[in-house]
Structure 1
Amino acid sequence: MEKANNIVLIGFMGVGKGALAREMVRQDSSLYALDTDDMIESLTNTRIKKIFERAGEAAFRALEQKTADWLAQNVENAVVSTGGGFFKVNNLERIGTIVYLKADFDWIYKRILNAPNAKKKLKKRPLFQDVGKAEKLFEERFEAYEKVADIVLDVTETDTEEMAKRVLENVKVKNAGKS
Structure 2
Amino acid sequence: MNEALNELVLRLRTAAQAKTARADVQAILKEAVADPESFASQMPVIEEDDLILFEDENVSIWYCRFQPGKTVPPHNHKVLATIAVYSGAERNDFYERAEGGGYQKSSEVVLSAGDVFKIGPNAIHTVGVASAEACCGIHVYLGALTQVERSLFDLTSGDALPFTEDNYYRMVSDD
- What TM-score comes out, normalization by structure 2 length? 0.30
Structure with bigger RCO (C-alpha 8 Å, 6+ apart): 1
Whichever structure has more helix as a proportion of its residues is 1
Query: Which structure shows the bigger proportion of residues in strand conformation?
Result: 2
